[in-house]
Amino acid sequence: MSITFRKIADDEAIIFHDGKAVGDLYRHEDPLTGRPVYLVLLASDHRGWVAVHDRAQVRDSIRSRLRSHPTMSWRY
């Protein structure tokens, strides 16, 4: 499962899985800690955002969300 990103702004990227756009990734600063938090939103996912506080876990979180996605999981 190849997860890649295309940066479109300083704090925003498009998420690709095997060359197909599947969602958006946003980087925000946590107002309480001042540390970055990454917000993952997959297309057509009624579950909404998932917040990831560790940059190293972003791809794993995306893979997990794709596998359990209500309309796209059959592809992965």
DSSP state, residue 10? T
Domain ranges of the chain: 3-75
* pLDDT means over runs of 10, the chain (76 residues): 92 94 96 95 90 95 87 57
Angle at 11 between CA 37 and CA 20, to 5 degrees: 95
pTM of the predicted model, to two decimals?
0.85
Residue for token digits 């990103």? 5
Angle at 3 between CA 2 and CA 6, to 5 degrees: 130
Structure tokens at 9: 């702004």
Structure tokens at 51: 């917040």
